[in-house]
Amino acid sequence: MRESGIRLKNRLYLFRILVIFVLLIIFTTGLLGCTQETSAPEKGKPVESMIVEAKEYPVRLESFGITGSQTIKKYSFKVPGKLSKLYVEKGQKVEKGKLLAELEKKDLQFALQAAEYTMNKASSAAQDAQDFYEKVKVLQESGAVSQRDLDLALLDLEVKEASYNQAKVDYDYKLSILNDAALYADMDGFVVELLNEEGEIVGSGYPVIVVRSGRQVINVGLTQEDIQKVKKGIKAAILTESGDNKQAGGEVTLLDQLPDQESRTYNVEITLTEVPDSYDFYLGSTCRVQLEIGTAQGIRIPLTSIQNDGQDYVYTVKENRALRKNVKIIDTVDTLVRVEGLEEGEELVIAGMKNLTDGCLVVTSVEGVENS
């Protein structure tokens, strides 16, 4: 019994020594692992950067506008009639003097011929009365006829001349009607609308063809605050909203002094001066308008370099470490923004900032040159 107890104690003693040995091995291994992990070199995160510069930039007032035309004209006939021929199509470009449309002229030509006949007959009668009056006048001066005969000859002459004048007016009127049976463009432009088809009866004074001038304008509504920043003659950039990246140049040509009764905005008319080749802004289409109202000194950075977590901020690089800096956006022009909160000469992260934290090591590339 005593020997069994001694053996049990020895076994427990050996077991304790074994447990302590195992724990020491585990502790030592973990300590070595932590030491190795802590002592591993920090890897810099790759980013692209730029050096911030303060420059003078144009200050632009951006708004939306509606495309219109400087002149829109509705062509109509002075007399009713049957529309015989249309010489243009919708959307067609026309030049001044271009024949646009004609009425059926057959009846008008007959009426003109009848008026011409009546006028010629009245002219002949007036000439005969003139000759007769001259003869009676000679006879009256020689005492062969009385004054009363001369007065009657003069009265007949006046009646015949009045008839001729009336016939001449009627002839001129019929000629004018015949000429007005053809519509001609009196300006260069584009056909906006054809309101009738060939063969239809059109009334006098009712529009048949609508033509707009080739020179287009953009109408922009500005608030009372913004209208005070704009002056006649300033330049403007017009960008289409159709996604085709078309851009045109313009100039402010008109500022309304009274606001629109409904919108309470002041209309600014911008005349297009530089339009891309083979491109035309459609009437009534919307576009973005940037009015160049001055210049300002400041720092502009790419919009994509700014992040937000409730506050706009960027990352700069100092001693190869990322440094978070809060910024304030002042204005935006295209893809650049003017900001406060940065100083000239600072190195701004413009790519790779999504994976950064304040103070982390970075490997920068400024204009393609790596710095570590």
Looking at the domain assignment, is residue 113 inside a domain?
yes
Q: Are strands 362-366 and 45-51 parallel, antiparallel or unpaired?
A: parallel
Looking at the domain assignment, is residue 18 inside a domain?
no
- Cβ(341)–Cβ(325) below 8 Å: yes
pLDDT single digits (tens) 12-36: 666 666 656 666 666 555 544 544 4
For residues 302 and 362, membership in a common domain is answered with yes
For residues 202 and 80, membership in a common domain is answered with yes
Question: Among candidates 323, 217, 231, which has minimal Cα distance to 270?
Answer: 217
* Lowest mean per-residue pLDDT among 26-35, 46-55, 129-138: 26-35
Instruction: Please state whether the predicted TM-score (pTM) of the whole model is above 0.75.
Output: no
Q: Which domain holds residue 82?
A: 76-103+184-211
Looking at the domain assignment, is residue 24 inside a domain?
no
Domain end residue (candidates: 237, 270, 295): 295
- Cβ(191)–Cβ(211) below 8 Å: yes
Name which residue leads in pLDDT, 242 or 291.
Answer: 291
pLDDT confidence bin for 97, thresholds 50/70/90: very high
Q: Which residues contact 230 (CB under 8 A, 6 or more apart)?
A: 61, 222, 252, 255, 268, 291, 293
The first and second tokens of residue 306, run together, are 């700014």
Domain total of the chain? 4
pLDDT in the model for residue 192: 86
pLDDT confidence bin for 39, thresholds 50/70/90: low
pLDDT in the model for residue 36: 46
Q: What is the mean pLDDT of residues 351-365?
A: 89
- Cβ(315)–Cβ(360) below 8 Å: no
Q: What is the mean pLDDT of residues 225-236?
A: 91
pLDDT in the model for residue 67: 85
pLDDT single digits (tens) 252-270: 999 999 988 888 999 999 9
For residues 219 and 271, membership in a common domain is answered with yes
- CATH label of the domain that carries residue 360: 2.40.420.20
N-term to C-term CA, the chain = 76
Asked if residue 362 has pLDDT above 70, the reply is yes
pLDDT in the model for residue 239: 83
For residues 80 and 205, membership in a common domain is answered with yes
What is the spatial distance between Cα 105 and Cα 15, in angstroms, rounded to a whole number?
Answer: 128
